[in-house]
Amino acid sequence: MYLCKNGIGVRMEKFSGSNGVDFKLSQVTQEDTGNYSCVYSEGRLVAHEITTIGQKHVFIQVKEFLSGKIHVTNSVIFEGDSVSLACTGTVTNNRPALHIYLCKNGVGVVKNVVQGKEGVQFTLEQIKKEHSGNYTCVYSFSKYDPPVTVCSISDNPVLIQVEDFTRTDFTQPDLDVGGRSRTWWVNVFRLACSAGVVMAAVAALVDSYVWSKKALHRETPNEDPKRDDDNSTSMGPQTLPE
């Protein structure tokens, strides 16, 4: 029984039963990628002299890197903040260690090795606007040093957009202020701005009401009190009865 790869015999095993022959490929590499089929002969031949393809064949693709899953908790952040990205792969029994690479715009820039685990968390500290981009992750059972340029195989990128945020003078981009975090101060600033807008709107409404009352008062003429004809006294000439 001969195992053929791409139409050429590569392995031979003696067949003497009805259960077939198992060809086992150990420690495969990318060079083992190809179309495999089986043929048999009653005579013993040299494997590489077999140049034929069996009736059925299977295609085996050996990948150097596999696409991992990536997840980010917050995709829109401000400069100086941090963001965490979780990347996961699949551990096998004979390959318990994973080399996971975080990729930005198709290039692996950070690597982490995990033993016996399927995931790792990458944390980017004090990021800047130039850190914006599409992030993916890939993993390999072999060790490679970044940068790696095979991240295009990943099909689930996440977009991180770093917003340009101008901080006020009472905050520092790299330090907490008064024991409070930067996020706390940002929320206070936003709340103060919202309160100022509400107060300005109320003042405008009050001013408009007062102005309208004054205008109405100017437009209404002064009227004399109504006279009671029955009780009034005439100051003109009086005619005495005869």
pLDDT per position as a tens digit, 35-52: 999 888 888 888 887 888
Apex 187 CA angle, 171 and 161, nearest 5 = 85
* Domains, in order of start, for the chain: 2-60 (no CATH), 66-163 (2.60.40.10), 166-216 (no CATH)
pLDDT exceeds cutoff 50 at 238: no
| Three-state secondary-structure class, residue 220 | coil
Q: Round the average pLDDT of the chain to a whole number and report it.
A: 75
Q: Which stretch of 80-84, 86-90, 97-101, 214-218 has the lowest confidence by average pLDDT?
A: 214-218
Q: Using CB atoms within 10 A of its CB, is residue 184 exposed (0-12), middle (13-18) or buried (19+)?
A: middle
Residue type, 6: N
How far from chain centre, in Å, is Cα 91? Answer: 24
| Residue range 148-174: mean pLDDT, rounded | 67
How far from chain centre, in Å, is Cα 146? Answer: 22
End-to-end CA distance of the chain: 161
pLDDT of residue 234: 40
pLDDT of residue 35: 92
Residues 6+ positions from 70 with CB-CB distance below 8 Å: 85, 86, 87, 135, 136, 137, 154, 156, 157, 158
Residue 180 gets which letter from DSSP?
Answer: B
